[in-house]
Structure 1
Amino acid sequence: MHPDRALLRRHVLPSAIAAAFALPIALLVLGSLRAAGAPPPAGLELVPRGASLDAYGRLADLLPLGTYLRNSVVVVVLAVPLTVVVAALAGFGIRLLEGRAKVVAVAASVVVMLVPTSALWATRFEVYASAGLIGSLLPLVAPALMGTTPLLVLIYAWAFGAVDDAQLHAARLEGASTLATWSRIALPQVRTATLAVSVLAFTAHWGNFIDALLYIRGQENFTLPLGLNTLKVLRPTEFPLLLAGAVVFTLPSIGVFLAAHRIFTDDPAAALRGRTSTTSVRTP
C-alpha cells in the first residue's frame, strides 16, 4: 500500500472520526463548568468564564445521586453477566445447527431484532405486572434472560463459527457434554467476542431510560438516567447542572469503552473470532 494511503487509513481518518465523537463530550464537560446562573453564551465559548466544579456539588445536593448510581450499578452487575451467558449459549446452539436449520435460526434472530421495541411495551408491562415486578429493578434485568438483544446472540454465533469442527467432534468422541464443550473448548476461543458483548450489554443496560420510565416506581428505585430526567425542568440559566448530570451519566460508558479498547485492532472481525495476525495484534 502507498505510504500516504497507509497514513490516511491508519492515523488521519481514525483521528478525524475520534475527534467527531469526542467533540460532544468536550462540550458537555465545558458546559458543566459554567458558573451557576450564568446566561448561555452569545457565541462560541471554548473555556467558560469563571469555570468551576460548583455544578457537580449542587447536583449532589439537589439529587440523591448515590441512590441512583447504586441502582444502576445493581442493574448492570446482574444483567451483563446474565446477558453474556444467555447470548453465548444461544450463539453456540446456532453454531451447532447445520444446513437449513442454521439459516432459519439466524433469519429468525434478524427478524426479532428488527421488531420495534415499542411493539413489546404493552405485553411486557402486563407480564411484569402479573408477576408483581412493577416498581422494582427486576424488569430492567429481565431482558438479559433473552440475551438483551438478538444482535449479541448473532455476534456469538458468528464468533463460534471460527471454532474448528474437528475440536467439537473430538470432544463429542471423548464423551464431553454440550455444556462442557461450550465452556471448556468453544468459549475460551472467543474471549474478545465476550468482551465486545459485555461492553454492548453494559451500554444497553446503563442507558436504559425507557424501561426505567415504564416500570420503576418510587424515587428510591430510580436508576441514573431516570433520576437525571428530573433535571429537564431546569431553567436555561441552570443548564450547567443538566450538563453536569450528563457528564456523570456518560463517564462510566466511556470508561468501559476505553478499558475494552484492545478489541479495536486493525482487523476487529478477526479479533472477535479469536484470530490474530501480525498486522492486527496490538501490544498492551
Structure 2
Amino acid sequence: MTTAVERTAAAPVPAGGPAPAAARRPPAEDARRPLWQRVAFVAALTGASVIFMLPFVWLVSASLRPREYVFAPGFLPVPFAPDNYAEAWSAAPLLTWLVNSVVVGVAAAAAVTISSAWVAFGFAYFRFPGRDLLFGLVLATMMLPFAVTMIPTYLIWSELRLTDTQVPLWAGNLFGSAFYIFLLRQFLLSLPREYFEAARVDGASYPQLFWKLAFPLIRPALLVAFVFEFKASWTDLMKPLIYLRNEELFTLPRGLKVVLDRFGYGGEQQWEVVLAGSVLATVPMIILFFLAQRHFVEGIATTGRKG
C-alpha cells in the first residue's frame, strides 16, 4: 500500500496551489487587446532585448578581430581572426579555471539551496512563539554589507587553516541565505497545509515531509535558487581574490583578473586575448539559462504567491 506521503507527492497540485502564470490567465486575454497595444508591446520587448544584447554582441565581435582592429567602430568582425580563441586558450590555463568554477559553483549552489530549503520549511510549516520575530531577524541579516563580515569570516577560515583552498568559496553556504530562505518560504506557503497534515496522520516524520512531499513540489523554486547562486558564484571575484593564491585553484573570474593584468592595462596590450577569455567565461552561463529556462521562468512566476 502506498503511504499518504507518496500519494500526496504524486497527486497534482489543486487550483489553490502553485501553477504557472500562463495557466491562470484567461485564454482570450491577449486576443482582447487592441492590435496596436500588442504591436507596441512586442516592439518594446524587441527594443529592450536589442539594447541588452549589444554589449555581448560587441564583445564577441571584438574578440574575433586582429589586435589593431579590436576597438574599431562597428559590430562586424572585419577582419576576421578566430585564432584569438586558440591564443587565449594557450596563454592561460582556462580549462583548469573553468573546471574549478564549475566545481565551486555546483557546491555553493547545492549547499545554499538545500540548507535554505530546510530553514524555509521550518518557518513555513511549524508554528511556534516568536516565529515571525525570528524570521524578521533572519531577513535583517540581508542589511549587513559584505565588508562588515569579510574580515571576521577570513579570520575564521584562517584559524581553520583553510585559506588558499576552495572551501571558503562554498562552505559558508551550508548555513543558508536569508534571500533564498525568504524565496523558498513564500513558495512553501502556497502549498495546501492539508497535504502535510494528511501525511502526519499517516505517520510520516518531519524529514519525510520535507524530502518526500515538500521537496518534489517546490522543485521550480529550488531550481531558481540553484541558478541564482550558481550565477553568483560563477561571477564572484571578491572571495577568490581574498582566499586563493595558488593559480591552479583559481576560478574563472580570478583567472581573468590575471589575464587582464598580463595582457591588458599595464601588460602587453593584447586585448583580443582578454576579450576572447571573457567570451569563453560568459558562454557557459548562457547555456545554463537556456537549458533551465522553462523551469526557471515557472519558478519565478509562482514564487511569492500564497494559495
Normalising to structure 2: TM-score of the pair?
0.81
Residue 70 of structure 2 contacts residue 272 of structure 2 at CA under 8 Å; is this kept in 1?
no
Aligned to 1:158: 186
Aligned counterpart for 1:259 among listed residues 272, 291, 297: 291
CA drift of 1:206 comes to 1.1
Aligned to 2:71: 40
Cα pair distance change 1:58/1:194, threshold 3 Å: same
2:224 is aligned with 1:192? no
Aligned counterpart for 2:245 among listed residues 217, 220, 223: 217
CA drift of 1:268 comes to 4.0
Residue 104 of structure 2 contacts residue 166 of structure 2 at CA under 8 Å; is this kept in 1?
yes
CA drift of 1:260 comes to 1.7
CA drift of 1:57 comes to 1.0
Alignment of 1:1-284 (within 5 A): 1-3=32-34, 4-9=36-41, 11-38=42-69, 40-41=71-72, 44-98=73-127, 101-147=130-176, 149-233=177-261, 234-235=263-264, 237-263=269-295, 268-270=300-302
Normalising to structure 1: TM-score of the pair?
0.87
Q: Distance in 1 between matches of 2:299 and 2:280?
A: 32
Q: CA offsets, 1:113-136, max 9 Å, x none?
A: 121111111011101001110001
Residue 68 of structure 1 contacts residue 223 of structure 1 at CA under 8 Å; is this kept in 2?
yes
Q: Distance in 2 between matches of 1:265 and 1:156?
A: 15
Q: Distance in 2 between matches of 1:272 and 1:107?
A: 17
Cα pair distance change 1:232/1:118, threshold 3 Å: same
Q: Distance in 1 between matches of 2:170 and 2:186?
A: 25
Cα pair distance change 1:80/1:49, threshold 3 Å: same
For residue 193 of structure 1, give the secondary structure of its aligned residue in structure 2.
helix
> Which has the higher mean CA deviation after the structures are superposed, 254-263 or 196-205?
254-263
Cα pair distance change 1:235/1:127, threshold 3 Å: closer
CA drift of 1:271 comes to 6.3
Q: CA offsets, 1:187-219, max 9 Å, x none?
A: 211111111111101101111210000001211
Cα pair distance change 1:181/1:232, threshold 3 Å: same
Count of aligned positions = 271
Q: Distance in 2 between matches of 1:267 and 1:189?
A: 11
Residue 259 of structure 2 contacts residue 274 of structure 2 at CA under 8 Å; is this kept in 1?
yes
Higher RCO (CA-CA < 8 Å; seq separation 6+): 2
Of structures 1 and 2, the larger Rg is shown by 2
Q: CA offsets, 1:39-73, max 9 Å, x none?
A: 632xx311132122122111111101121112112
Residue 65 of structure 2 contacts residue 78 of structure 2 at CA under 8 Å; is this kept in 1?
yes
Q: CA offsets, 1:249-270, max 9 Å, x none?
A: 1111111111121146589432
Q: CA offsets, 1:226-256, max 9 Å, x none?
A: 0110122334752121111111111111111
Aligned to 2:8: none
Can you give the 5+ residue segments of structure 2 that lack an aligned partner in the other structure? 1-31
Cα pair distance change 1:195/1:106, threshold 3 Å: same
Q: Distance in 1 between matches of 2:137 and 2:113?
A: 20
Cα pair distance change 1:71/1:274, threshold 3 Å: farther
For residue 176 of structure 1, give the secondary structure of its aligned residue in structure 2.
coil
CA drift of 1:7 comes to 4.6
Counting aligned pairs with the same residue, the percent is: 27
Residue 223 of structure 2 contacts residue 296 of structure 2 at CA under 8 Å; is this kept in 1?
no
Q: CA offsets, 1:85-129, max 9 Å, x none?
A: 111111111102437634223322321112111111101110100
Amino acid of the residue matched to residue 40 of structure 1?
A: F
Amino acid of the residue matched to residue 205 of structure 1?
A: S
Can you give the 5+ residue segments of structure 1 that lack an aligned partner in the other structure? 276-284
Q: Distance in 2 between matches of 1:274 and 1:28?
A: 42
